[in-house]
Chain A
């Protein structure tokens, strides 16, 4: 009882229009749920609803029926017995006549008709009854949009699901449909309408449909072409294409539309609307396929002339002789040309208009007057367009089918060959050797058409699977024609290329020459058409261009591109025979360029050729990588043994090429790890075997390049391979440096410091190479890779670090960044853990001072952890250069810790802060050293340590080198450091220590994401200003200055930032005005002026007093030596001048 009253309540709240939509939906949900869990049956529900369904009150009845309909929609998978379905559908069928409550009836019918077969469906008879009632009662076009949509959905559903029952209604139904869809305008409904027509055309027999085809098409035809005048922005823009496609399907749904559709489409081809033209062409192609050749035959002539018009008048972009267009067709913007050619292809495939093409006057006229097209540059544009149109037509026709290919080639190729002056040379063997002399230049028109034809032919051969080339080559006339012409054509083209020169006049010749050879070289199917000797000769021609004709830039580039294209095609289609030729003729020759001693060809071009060729396939890539590796190694050993400066120069270029061009490609191709590992191992063996280094290997170039390549190569290896490499490196390291003994604690650091000056010079360059390369491996390894004997390695790196070797410091940073924590449990024994490493770094004996133990007890004793290295950094060793190196090293270690979010980084930054403050606390003894080792330089170095901490480094601790990077680490560091640094700046006594603090802050600010900085812009502005003035004093700080200025301009262009700026506008403008005249960096001046432009948008009252000052400064900037600055100055001057009046009188 309670349930039934609840039900009534739900029904009431749904039917009652005054309740909120959310409420109604809730009650609908409630009823649905009680129906699905069988707490309520449909019958009892209907009984309960009784009055709501039959009352004479229109509103309540409409809502009641709608409720029932909605419920049934939601219950589409609940099984219902047949009797229920029958009685329900009978009810709704009946209600279709009730126009005042129509919505519910439509929804209900639709729900029932759509039911899946699993749970009780409407019978065919019932469906028929629905249709009858539909035809009788519904005036679809007089309904509102949503109801119309429902009507069409219902109709479509009925047609789709009950074709037999519905079709038996015959003419009545067709009448009904015509009536329902006539004059529909809503896009959504139209989509349905078009689909209904498509279904109808499928459903009814031709004889019945025949009498209605005219009427149906009359309704349909007026929608073509689909054209929206609606403002775009709604979803209409995307829907135009959908509608157009649906209409196209409807157009081509039955061949019976042919007498009406084709004339309409042909007529619309001459429309001035671009989209109408494109649509017409599309529709015609589609209809041609659907209507069949028989019906279309009578339109063939008209269609051919329309297509010709479209092709001849379409606006084609001018040919460009660049490498990009060599193997692609140029794309036209409006699509007319593309669609016209597609239609042409369809028609030819149907066997329709081939005869028209062969006999066409326009095309034959071009062939007759081919001598007018002597050279590209002398041909007038109109003739060029005609020529290209003919080329397009012939090319598409030849591509379309075997028969068309046959007839086009047979009728057009021989005259072209005559025009080119080529004979049918069938001795393909030694065509390149005989003394062939070409009279004058090849006729451009004939060459163009000929290349188009052969390209079409090649595409046809490549595209048709069933086409038996071997068989055809012997039997088809056109194949024989091609075979016989190919050798003389190839010969003529190579001659053209050989005689070409730089300059516009030859561009076309070169382009078509290369293109022709490329097409001949890319014929599929082994050597049945293009013989092997011709193919190899083509490769030889291109290769000799690469090696000899490098002054002709265009020719060289095109030839290289063509070679790459040929190579990649061979690779893609697995043509093993050609691959052998290619490898032998092209790849070997070009790779050997790098090692050849012939110096007339610029080395950069050689490298370009090598890298491009490597792109043609993974196999060739491997080959080039190996070739390059050998050249690198031989040149490196030359450098080691003889210190040959020329080799050093070459090796740098080679390594640059290796790491910048080839490595990314290897990375892309994947699976070449082996080669990378070999590269790394080879270099190590080289060093191992080369005991006596030449004394001249002091230049940084080769070492830096080798380190970069080593890092990248190791970085992309897997853990196993990295382990192998690192083992090898470790062996070399331990063998060749002084024996690696356990703690070298007995080497007093003091002594080392004293020796430092000599050591940097004397230190054998071999050791330097070994240390640096070993460090670069450590930088690049993955976190999982096992580093042998961590303790010794760290000791070693630290000693090297103190000599000022930056890679060693980076390696240490990288180690502490990647080593596993003790707690994670999965550690492998012997890998070493972070704790261990930290322990060694900070507490090892190496850093204690045997001869001066007193110092040790002075500094930083309260923090037991931070001792050794930090002591040195604090200046305990009394050697400034040692201190500077220690600070730099600590900075990298700190960066490694900071990035992984380790707390120890705090101790390190405290050391830096101590150094920054040391000025105030200590009195420096008079330094005997030069100024670069003064205490000031130590402080500067400590400030710059913050830059190392914050900035992103390419060569170390990046994603590429598998660093552990904690998100937002920069923000975190910023927000811990700024509160410490800010009061320190305020308290600082001397101007110098203040400037040093500002410098440290500047580094932090300029590397923090702008959003974070914006939040406390107000507090930062004074520091920014100080930083700007400090860094503008020294010309070597221009980068810091520029970075700060960028932060300032970021603040100024942000809305919140502007508010923060208002208070100190005066100060900022003064500073910016000074920077306008900054002589050392154009970007600074430019950005300063841009900042001033941004300042001009602040409230007038604030900035008006400064107007005169700014304008005076700007008028000087108008005479700036740099153009970009002058341009900015003009707009800045206008912005400031127009604050008060637009005139310039100030």
Chain B
């Protein structure tokens, strides 16, 4: 392992105040509530991926933000762009994998999920993107018991 911290002094951001949804449901029983940015963000927020070096959540480090999520319910398409804290962050692929698995398990199967590292924020951006969006490689990663355990550990608390 590397001696010393990769990112000794991360920038911590204040959590953005949540928009409160107006209580719905009683209004119209049959009205559909489309899957939107906020809902996907809520799904991802509950992820318990901690920075391995510091006790901050992904939201506090602005690894994922609501604005970095694109959702198109009609065309069944989600794209999540996340921002690693430092350019050579070793967690980038793991974070990406967790995001993908969480979305796979929480969204209807019709959705195509696209996970990307924000352009210019990671040293091996292309490689990470390729790895995260390659169906075969994701499947292979999930066959790996060590990786599955790790992902499950991150996901476990997100199910109420």
CB-defined contacts of A1121 to chain B, threshold 8 Å: 30-33
B108 to A1115, Cβ gap below 8 A? yes
CB closest residue in chain B, given A1129: B106
CB-defined contacts of B142 to chain A, threshold 8 Å: 1143
| Sample of 20 further A-B pairs with CB below 8 A, known A1122-B33, A1130-B159 | A1079-B30, A1081-B29, A1082-B25, A1082-B29, A1115-B108, A1118-B107, A1121-B31, A1122-B25, A1122-B32, A1123-B21, A1123-B39, A1124-B25, A1126-B35, A1130-B43, A1131-B160, A1133-B105, A1134-B159, A1137-B105, A1142-B148, A1142-B152
A1082 to B23, CA, bound (A): 13
Binding site for A on B (CB under 8 A): 21, 24-25, 29-33, 35, 39, 43, 104-110, 142, 148, 152, 159-160
A1082 to B106, CA, bound (A): 19
CB-defined contacts of A1131 to chain B, threshold 8 Å: 159-160
A1135 to B159, CA, bound (A): 8
Find A1119's partner among B29, B43, B105, B110 (CB 8 Å cutoff). B110
CB closest residue in chain A, given B102: A1130
CB-defined contacts of B152 to chain A, threshold 8 Å: 1142
A278 to B33, CA, bound (A): 51
Give the 10 A-B CB pairs with smallest separation, nearest first: A1119-B108, A1121-B32, A1134-B159, A1131-B159, A1118-B108, A1130-B106, A1123-B33, A1131-B160, A1142-B152, A1082-B25
CB-defined contacts of B33 to chain A, threshold 8 Å: 1121-1123
CB-defined contacts of B160 to chain A, threshold 8 Å: 1127, 1131
A1144 to B25, Cβ gap below 8 A? no
Cβ < 8 Å to B, chain A residues 1098-1146? 1115, 1118-1119, 1121-1124, 1126-1127, 1130-1131, 1133-1135, 1137, 1142-1144
CB-defined contacts of A1080 to chain B, threshold 8 Å: 29
A-B contact pairs, 23 of them (CB 8 A): A1081-B29, A1082-B29, A1115-B108, A1115-B109, A1119-B110, A1121-B31, A1121-B32, A1121-B33, A1122-B25, A1122-B33, A1123-B24, A1124-B25, A1126-B35, A1130-B105, A1131-B160, A1134-B105, A1134-B159, A1135-B159, A1142-B152, A1143-B142, A1143-B148, A1144-B104, A1144-B105
CB closest residue in chain B, given A1141: B148
A1135 to B21, CA, bound (A): 27
A1079 to B32, CA, bound (A): 12
CB-defined contacts of A1135 to chain B, threshold 8 Å: 159
A166 to B82, CA, bound (A): 80
Q: How far is the CB of A1143 from chain B (nearest CB, A)?
A: 7
CB closest residue in chain B, given A1137: B105
CB closest residue in chain B, given A1118: B108
CB-defined contacts of A1144 to chain B, threshold 8 Å: 104-105
CB-defined contacts of B25 to chain A, threshold 8 Å: 1082-1083, 1122, 1124
Please encode chain A, from 780 to 803, with 1 for each CB lying within 8 Å of some chain B CB and 0 for all others. Answer: 000000000000000000000000
Q: How far is the CB of A300 from chain B (nearest CB, A)?
A: 41
A39 to B30, CA, bound (A): 89
A303 to B101, CA, bound (A): 61
A1142 to B148, CA, bound (A): 9
A1133 to B109, CA, bound (A): 13
A1130 to B148, CA, bound (A): 19
Total A-B residue pairs with C-beta atoms closer than 8 Å? 46
Q: How far is the CB of A11 from chain B (nearest CB, A)?
A: 66
CB-defined contacts of B108 to chain A, threshold 8 Å: 1115, 1118-1119
A1082 to B27, CA, bound (A): 11
CB-defined contacts of B43 to chain A, threshold 8 Å: 1130
CB closest residue in chain A, given B109: A1115
CB-defined contacts of A1142 to chain B, threshold 8 Å: 148, 152
CB closest residue in chain B, given A1081: B29
Interface centre among B39, B110, B159 (most CB of A within 10 A): B159
CB-defined contacts of B24 to chain A, threshold 8 Å: 1123
Q: How far is the CB of B101 from chain A (nearest CB, A)?
A: 9
CB closest residue in chain A, given B155: A1134
A733 to B107, CA, bound (A): 65
CB-defined contacts of A1079 to chain B, threshold 8 Å: 30
A1124 to B26, CA, bound (A): 12
CB-defined contacts of B31 to chain A, threshold 8 Å: 1121
A1083 to B105, CA, bound (A): 23
Q: How far is the CB of A1039 from chain B (nearest CB, A)?
A: 12
A1142 to B31, CA, bound (A): 34
CB-defined contacts of B104 to chain A, threshold 8 Å: 1144
A1115 to B105, CA, bound (A): 9
Q: How far is the CB of A494 from chain B (nearest CB, A)?
A: 34
Q: How far is the CB of B38 from chain A (nearest CB, A)?
A: 10
CB closest residue in chain B, given A1134: B159
Q: How far is the CB of A632 from chain B (nearest CB, A)?
A: 30
A330 to B105, CA, bound (A): 46
A1082 to B29, CA, bound (A): 7
A1082 to B26, CA, bound (A): 9
CB-defined contacts of A1118 to chain B, threshold 8 Å: 106-109
A39 to B31, CA, bound (A): 90
CB-defined contacts of B110 to chain A, threshold 8 Å: 1119
A1143 to B106, CA, bound (A): 13
CB-defined contacts of B30 to chain A, threshold 8 Å: 1079, 1121
Q: How far is the CB of B39 from chain A (nearest CB, A)?
A: 6
Q: How far is the CB of A317 from chain B (nearest CB, A)?
A: 15
Q: How far is the CB of B17 from chain A (nearest CB, A)?
A: 13
A93 to B65, CA, bound (A): 79
A1144 to B148, CA, bound (A): 11
Interface centre among A1079, A1082, A1131 (most CB of B within 10 A): A1082
CB-defined contacts of B35 to chain A, threshold 8 Å: 1126
A877 to B108, CA, bound (A): 58
Q: How far is the CB of A1130 from chain B (nearest CB, A)?
A: 5
CB closest residue in chain A, given B21: A1123
A577 to B35, CA, bound (A): 62
CB-defined contacts of B148 to chain A, threshold 8 Å: 1142-1143
A988 to B124, CA, bound (A): 73
A1121 to B39, CA, bound (A): 13
Q: How far is the CB of B42 from chain A (nearest CB, A)?
A: 8
CB closest residue in chain A, given B107: A1118
A964 to B107, CA, bound (A): 54
Please encode chain A, from 248 to 262, with 1 for each CB lying within 8 Å of some chain B CB and 0 for all others. Answer: 000000000000000
CB-defined contacts of A1115 to chain B, threshold 8 Å: 108-109
CB closest residue in chain B, given A1083: B25
CB closest residue in chain A, given B36: A1123
Q: How far is the CB of A181 from chain B (nearest CB, A)?
A: 45
Q: How far is the CB of A730 from chain B (nearest CB, A)?
A: 42
Please encode chain A, from 477 to 492, with 1 for each CB lying within 8 Å of some chain B CB and 0 for all others. Answer: 0000000000000000
CB closest residue in chain B, given A1119: B108
CB-defined contacts of B29 to chain A, threshold 8 Å: 1080-1082
CB-defined contacts of B32 to chain A, threshold 8 Å: 1121-1122
A961 to B159, CA, bound (A): 47
Interface centre among A1079, A1133, A1143 (most CB of B within 10 A): A1143
CB closest residue in chain B, given A1124: B25
A1121 to B32, CA, bound (A): 4
Interface centre among B24, B32, B160 (most CB of A within 10 A): B160
A949 to B122, CA, bound (A): 70
Q: How far is the CB of A1134 from chain B (nearest CB, A)?
A: 4
A1131 to B148, CA, bound (A): 18
CB closest residue in chain B, given A1132: B159
CB closest residue in chain B, given A1128: B160
CB closest residue in chain B, given A1079: B30
CB-defined contacts of A1137 to chain B, threshold 8 Å: 105
A1118 to B106, CA, bound (A): 7
Q: How far is the CB of A1079 from chain B (nearest CB, A)?
A: 8
Q: How far is the CB of A903 from chain B (nearest CB, A)?
A: 42
A1081 to B28, CA, bound (A): 10
Q: How far is the CB of A863 from chain B (nearest CB, A)?
A: 46
Q: How far is the CB of B140 from chain A (nearest CB, A)?
A: 13
CB closest residue in chain B, given A1135: B159
Cβ < 8 Å to B, chain A residues 678-707? none
